[in-house]
Amino acid sequence: MKIMRDETHDPALTSWVASANAAGSDFPIQNLPFGIFRSKGGLGHWRGGVAIGDHVLDLDVLASDGLADPQAHEALQAAIGPTLNALMALGRPAWAALRRALSSGLRVGSHERPRWERAIVPQADIEMGLPAEIGDYTDFYTSIQHATNVGRLFRPDNPLLPNYRWVPIGYHGRASSIAVSGDSFRRPQGQTLAADAEVPVLGPSRRLDHELELGLFIGPGNGRGVPVPIDDAEGRMFGLCLLNDWSARDIQAWEYQPLGPFLSKNFATTISPWIVTMEALHPYRTPFVRADGEPGPVSYLDSASNRERGAVDITLEVQLQTSAMRARSEEPVRLTSTNFSSSAYWTLAQLIAHHTVNGCNLRPGDLFGTGTLSGPADGQQGSMLELTRGGREPVRLPNGEQRTFFEDGDTVIFKAWCERQGAARIGFGEVRSTVLPAGGSA
């Protein structure tokens, strides 16, 4: 089932939840992202919710009364928690039916308002959890500019390996260390080898880095041995979140040959709590176009629909707040900004088609990372490794501090949004996490 533009995308729609109508709101009625929440302080049970302005629609409360449309009602029952996996498994017809019902009930003039108001909870009164039980996590390498920038640091004469333009490169990550925004994690330890040393040493990473990514949550899975054709891949996409794949670059440099990243990547990945559905992103789908001279994809990675609307126009931004800035109540500063559609060499549909072409079976709630998203211009790099040219050119902050890589106490924040004429602005909220000193016990 393809996503169709309908009344839920109308930019003129407004909600009886007043904060959803505020200029610049991430969560207007045209968005309606899904997440898992409970009352602040660990009170109550985890359950599904939908962000609307600075409030949440509690789907558990809503489910007690039900929805008139049978398909929407089935989807609502699957979304009440404690994870969204059951909703993800239902597929696009159910997702679309629930979206239409929620949009209808939340818009100005809805006869549902008196009944639904009791399901509205301020976001200030809740805490967010992981939106799904993530069985498997795969991280890709979709930005050719990032691959070139990093390759140039390690292989100046051959920065981009020949398979990059033909294969959506990826590796299997660690799902157990994925946490939701607000997480604080300890600086990782591992083996590193100094440039002038013959023997590696164990110690805390000194080159801790972020990676600016989007995360794709998988909906219905596929059977083992049954590839997903690229034109069917859209039906497997539930929605997107922000994703920070933290990386220890010094540990990575020592361990990555011959099998790739291991301890340098498995210690922490942080995601935003709200999943923006592909239905909400429909007005921001754009043609998938490669630069002149780039080869066309292999046939299983190519289709007319993917060329027509395979890309997504999303602006992404990275901010930093150091502990010194926090102590002086200074606002975070922007480190970089880029765009998904201009940064990605591969589309989301191509990632699914490639991941499954060998018969790999995906499951509802699996998570794909896009890999670091870097644009072609200076200031669009999605990692400190690129921004500082491998640590040789520190980033200077307005308060006089400087960074090559992140220090203890640093808080890194990602934000993202879609905005264009003729469509309502929608946002992703944020993902933030803070680096703690190395150490601690089990």
Per-residue pLDDT band for 441 (boundaries 50, 70, 90) equals low
pLDDT, tens digit (0-9, with 9 covering 90-100), for 371-385: 999 999 999 999 999
> 365 and 350 in contact (C-beta within 8 Å)?
no
pLDDT above 80 (res 135) = yes
The whole-number pLDDT of residue 187 equals: 98
- pLDDT single digits (tens) 232-249: 999 999 999 999 999 999
Over residues 163-168, mean pLDDT:
96
Is 146 an active-site residue? yes
Angle at 126 between CA 124 and CA 132, to 5 degrees: 135
Residue 231 — φ and ψ, nearest 5°?
-75, -15
On average, the pLDDT of the chain sits at 96
Q: Which of 55, 146, 354, 355 is catalytic?
A: 146
Q: Does this model's pTM top 0.95?
A: yes
pLDDT of 30 above 90: yes
Q: Looking at the DSSP assignment, which residues form a beta bridge with residue 366?
A: none
pLDDT tens string 59-115: 999 999 899 999 999 999 999 989 999 999 999 999 999 999 999 999 999 999 999
Query: Do 244 and 200 contact (CB within 8 A), yes or no?
Result: no
**Tens digit of each residue's pLDDT (9 = 90 or more) over 296-318:** 999 999 999 999 999 999 999 99
Distant-in-sequence contacts of 146-155, Cβ < 8 A, 24+ apart: 146/343, 146/371, 146/372, 146/373, 146/374, 146/381, 146/382, 146/383, 146/386, 149/374, 149/381, 149/385, 149/386, 150/383, 150/385, 150/386, 153/385, 153/389, 153/390, 154/253
